[in-house]
Amino acid sequence: MGNVTFVQGDTQVHPLPARGFDVLLSRGGVMFFADHVAAFTHLRHSLAPTGRLAFLGPQPEGTDSAYARATAALSPFLREASPAARGMGSLLDPARIREVLTAAGYTDIDVAPAEAPMTFGADAADATDFLLAMGPVRHNLRDVTPETTARIRTELRHSLGEFTTPDGIRIPGRVWIVTASPRTR
């Protein structure tokens, strides 16, 4: 395709062309912006007047969710917000999403729920390694004894086995599909 270019940069500050894009898509990355309003405002300036913003973000998981069952071994240890927690949980609430996008100059904001299975690894051992490597988990387990960490690893691997599929460890999940248009003046 001649009209596709790949560029690596920090979306919050990367020099994007004014009105240079018809569509901006994100599959979960926008929740990590340090300043959501500033970042979405920056992105809005790069959208054509008839452009659209679309992104996926996680819905909050209940205590009885598949993810909660799969990661139950971690629950007693995830008590302290890690430095990364602000990102993962920053756009869980549809009201917060609308507030941020409105402040950043968007209109026609839609936040729709969708089911989305999450793949965590090729098998239970791989998924366990992935979960234990996540920033919030590492942060909360930083002072846990090696014996306790080994026990958590074993329990995680066992509980993740429930979610084994031919395509790897897939846990049912839920996301928000968010769309918005730049407000034109």
Query: In this model, does residue 139 exceed pLDDT 50?
Result: yes
Flag whether 87 is in a domain.
Answer: yes
Residue 10 lies in a domain: no
pLDDT of 88 higher than 90: no
Q: Tell me the two tokens of residue 11.
A: 């979306």
Crossing angle, helix 94-103 and helix 36-45, to 10 degrees?
50
Whole-number average pLDDT of the chain: 90
Q: The domain spanning residue 153 has which CATH number?
A: 3.40.50.150
Classify residue 176: in a domain, yes or no.
Answer: yes
Total domains, the chain: 1
Task: Tell me, yes or no, whether 70 lies in a domain.
Answer: yes
How confident is the model over 2-42, as pLDDT tens digits?
Answer: 888 788 888 888 898 899 899 999 987 888 888 899 999 99
Using CA atoms, how far residue 153 sits from 28, 50, 135, 173, 176, in Å, is 26, 49, 16, 22, 30
CB 73 within 8 A of CB 156: yes
**Which domain covers residue 87, as residue numbers?**
21-182
8 belongs to a structural domain: no
Model-level pTM?
0.78
